[in-house]
Structure 1
Amino acid sequence: MTVMATTDLATSLGYSDLLGSIPVTPSSTTSRVVVNNSALRVVVFAFDEGELLTEHASPRAVVVQLLDGAIRFTVGDTEHHMVPGDVIYLAPGERHALVADAPSHLSLVMVDVAATAASGASPTA
């Protein structure tokens, strides 16, 4: 995974053709960090069919959205068959794993709950 330099929390940014710039590579999992600051990290993954991430956990809260393809995403003992547009929320420390059933792109947003709370940000919009 390529980790970009820290993204300034006070500076807005945008990306065009993100999926085109992160192609699915045969027999591979690739990723790109597109936002990285003290509050959150956004990573886009490309998985070829059959690629997997073994069970692991993050200390951050995580929001996963399938952008295209098909993925089996396991949270604890529950397997979710994700289709494009599906979203899964993971509480900090939640064990999870996945297997790509088709070439797929996945967006992962990790929120540092402690940093957000320390900044005084409201948990609701």
Structure 2
Amino acid sequence: MKGRGKLYKNIPKQEKILLKNLVEYRDGQVVSKTLVQNDFVSVTIFSFDKGEEISTHASGGDAMVTVLDGKGRFTVGGEVFTLTEGESLIMPKDVPHAVFGEEKFKMELVVSF
């Protein structure tokens, strides 16, 4: 299939896992691990140290975040959302957004193109 690209990588297959364990916390850093990247979808796991951020940007697709651990602050189109473990948020395509570590936190990001 044209444009299909790679499927899952950097993740065990046919094995029970905790997504939050796929990426470690590092002092003063945002750490990411890409699990899928193709023309249709991107799946990435992130960890944020307290006070670390990804500055305002926009995405070429709808982005759904799910917090896996801790607490993060998401600013989407000027509106602020604080999410904790198990909570999700959709950040619409082309709407500026930013992410900030209120405390150490981990999240899964799924972008659909």
TM-score interval (norm. to shorter): 0.7 to 0.9
- Asked if structure 1 preserves the Cα contact closer than 8 Å seen for 2:20 and 2:107, the reply is no
Secondary structure of the structure 1 residue equivalent to 2:103 = coil
Q: How many residues are aligned here?
A: 104
After the TM superposition, list the runs of 4 or more consecutive aligned residues in structure 1 that deviate by more than 3 angstroms: none
Alpha-carbon distance in 1 for matches of 2:82, 2:22: 26
- Identify unmatched segments of 5+ residues in structure 1: 113-125
Query: What TM-score do the two structures reach when normalised by structure 1?
Result: 0.76
> How much identity, in percent, do the aligned residues show?
26
Query: What TM-score do the two structures reach when normalised by structure 2?
Result: 0.83
Secondary structure of the structure 1 residue equivalent to 2:21 = helix
Q: CA RMSD in A?
A: 1.8
Greater radius of gyration (CA):
1
Secondary structure of the structure 2 residue equivalent to 1:108 = strand
Q: What do the CA deviations read for 1:20-79 (whole angstroms, capped 9, x no partner)?
A: 231110111010110122210100001000000100000111111111111111011111
Question: 1:46 and 2:59 equivalent?
Answer: no
The code of the aligned residue for 1:43 comes to T
- Give the structure 2 partner of residue 94 of structure 1: 95
1:42-81 to 2 correspondences below 5 Å: 42-81=43-82
